[in-house]
Amino acid sequence: MNLKERDKKHLWHPLTQHKLHPDALPIVKAEGALLYDDEGKEYIDGIASWYTAMYGHCNPYIIEKVNEQMRTLDQIVFAGFTHEPAVQLSEELIKILPNNQEKIFFSDNGSTANEVGIKMALQYHFNRGEKRNTIIAFNDGFHGDTFGAMSASGLSVYNGPFEDFFIDVQRIPTPNKENFEEVLKELLRIISTYNVAAFIYEPLVQGANAMHMFEAKYLNEILKVCNTNNIITIADEVMTGFGKTGKNFASEYIETKPDIISMSKALTAGFVPMAITSCTQEIYDTFLDDSVGKAFFHAHTYSANPIACSVAIAGIELLRSKEIQDNIYRIIKSHEEFDIKIKKHPKIKTTRQQGVIYALDLNIEMDRYGKKRYEIFNHFMKQGVCLRPLGKTIYILPPYVITKRQLNKVYETILSLLSSL
Ligand SMILES: Cc1ncc(COP(=O)(O)O)c(C=O)c1O
């Protein structure tokens, strides 16, 4: 049996209706911006494997650092113990986070980073003797698949079986020039009607919502209203973090800084899962008390795993290097040039860009997981480019190390798709 056949015997894949899509493509090797399948065919990873492997797959610098760490300390309980990689990571991260962030808390993935953020916000009010139990979120945001994160996610077309168990979430649309006054009005109505604990949002780019983008200045006004009402603001930077928007964190574009930031994905550069939720000193201080019950009783077995921390430290070093910063700049400029060339194409409805994230909407109607979506995906894969359309949206979010030639091939493949439609 080959890998594809063996896979079918015991494996259950995420986001997959196995009756309609029984086959998974075996990938046997990855290097830089390239993936290789079991028949030796190569693919350019145009989405950095769900925005993780930003410094390139199997990055040799990270491998060297991890290797050292693996020989020194593999794992230690993080309740009551500490270690150099966790301490060093906290120091390095604080240097690049918005400067109101002071404390970092570990978990395992983007969903749990948000789950932690939501729980921190709820307990912040609880510890201060206030009962606040409503969360505000954007209509079509995505924050993950655990219960709190799933409740906050407006993109929940497939969450029907769980809706009766959601935490209380009130929604507002993402703001723009046209709806801004209405959004503010609705925000104020929600605040006066419910006991709002927190507002969770993806800053500037909603990844799963087909790379929907909105302006910093409107978000800033919403954050100011939250601050005035002591509503804890949680920036979900799971997708946007670590350079993708052109700055280390999207929150840097917004004047009002969040109280809490969740991050994962590129934090560990595609090597191992890990997540972090950072917060202000003020939030942390609310948990300090003679009563044990006011502590934050949330833990994951692998919290601050030393190997994952060593990956993250190496990742941050790479992010701050001139080489990677130059690459980010090169990709931004390259997308801008591509956009000028392509945006008037009759098969394109709109285009948008934020940093290295480039997206276009096709001028055709199609379902998010419908037949056409798979045809387009297969068109790209046949040509050796891995791009995963989100419904009618095609987006590029490449590893920073993608070469000029590889990036041009991604563009050419999109152009060839447009000609074929
Ligand atoms: C903005 C955002 N938040 C949270 C998540 C969930 O992260 P994970 O899949 O690691 O649980 C994602 C995943 O795509 C995301 O894009």
Residue with the smallest CA separation from ligand 1 atom 3 is: 143
Gap from CA of 64 to ligand 1 centroid (Å) = 28
Gap from CA of 149 to ligand 1 centroid (Å) = 9
Please answer whether residues 80 and 108 qualify as being in contact, where contact means their C-beta atoms are separated by less than 8 angstroms: no
Q: How many CB atoms lie within 10 A of CB 219?
A: 25
Gap from CA of 344 to ligand 1 centroid (Å) = 32
C-alpha separations of 302 from 135, 158, 176, 297 in Å? 28, 29, 41, 15
Is residue 251 exposed (0-12), middle (13-18) or buried (19+ Cβ within 10 Å)?
buried
Q: Which atom of ligand 1 is nearest to the CA of 112?
A: 11
Strand pairing partners for 45? 386
Q: Which of 198, 98, 217, 50 is nearest to 138 (CA)?
A: 198
Q: How many CB atoms lie within 10 A of CB 62?
A: 24
Kind plus residue range of the DSSP H or E element containing 327: helix 322-342
Strand pairing partners for 80? none
Q: What is the dihedral of CA 380, 381, 387, 389, to 10 degrees?
A: 70
Mean per-residue pLDDT pooled into runs of 10, the chain (421 residues): 95 93 96 97 98 98 97 98 98 98 98 98 98 97 96 83 95 98 98 98 97 98 98 98 98 98 98 98 98 96 98 98 98 98 96 98 84 92 96 97 98 96 88
pLDDT for position 156: 64
Q: Rounded to an integer, what distance in angstroms lies between the CA atom of residue 401 and that of residue 62?
A: 14
Q: Rounded to an integer, what distance in angstroms lies between the CA atom of residue 59 and that of residue 68?
A: 15
- In the predicted model, what is the mean pLDDT of the chain? 96
pLDDT for position 157: 67
Residue 266, helix vs strand vs coil: helix
Q: Considering the domain 73-320, what is its CATH architecture?
A: 3-Layer(aba) Sandwich (3.40)
- The reply to whether 3-58+322-420 and 73-320 are identical in fold is no
Residue 353, helix vs strand vs coil: strand
Q: Which atom of ligand 1 is nearest to the CA of 111?
A: 11
Residue with the smallest CA separation from ligand 1 atom 4 is: 143
The residue extents of the domains of the chain are 3-58+322-420, 73-320
Q: Does the domain formed by 3-58+322-420 have CATH 3.40.50.360?
A: no
Q: Rounded to an integer, what distance in angstroms lies between the CA atom of residue 189 and that of residue 293?
A: 33
Q: Rounded to an integer, what distance in angstroms lies between the CA atom of residue 350 and that of residue 347?
A: 10
Substitution site in 140, 142, 202, 251 for ligand 1 pocket (most atoms within 8 Å of beta carbon): 142
Q: How many CB atoms lie within 10 A of CB 96?
A: 18
Gap from CA of 238 to ligand 1 centroid (Å) = 6
Q: Which atom of ligand 1 is nearest to the CA of 50?
A: 14
The pLDDT tens digits of the residues spanning 116-160 come to 999 999 999 999 999 999 999 999 999 999 999 999 999 766 788
Ligand 1: residues whose CB is within 6 Å? 109-111, 114, 142-144, 202, 207-208, 236, 238-239, 264
Gap from CA of 420 to ligand 1 centroid (Å) = 32
Gap from CA of 234 to ligand 1 centroid (Å) = 14
Measured at the CA of 370, the angle between CA 365 and CA 374, to 5 degrees, comes to: 105
pLDDT for position 324: 98
Substitution site in 206, 245, 265, 354 for ligand 1 pocket (most atoms within 8 Å of beta carbon): 265
Q: Which of 227, 131, 219 is nearest to 172 (CA)?
A: 219
Gap from CA of 144 to ligand 1 centroid (Å) = 5
Kind plus residue range of the DSSP H or E element containing 112: helix 110-127
Gap from CA of 2 to ligand 1 centroid (Å) = 32
Substitution site in 106, 143, 211, 251 for ligand 1 pocket (most atoms within 8 Å of beta carbon): 143
Gap from CA of 239 to ligand 1 centroid (Å) = 7
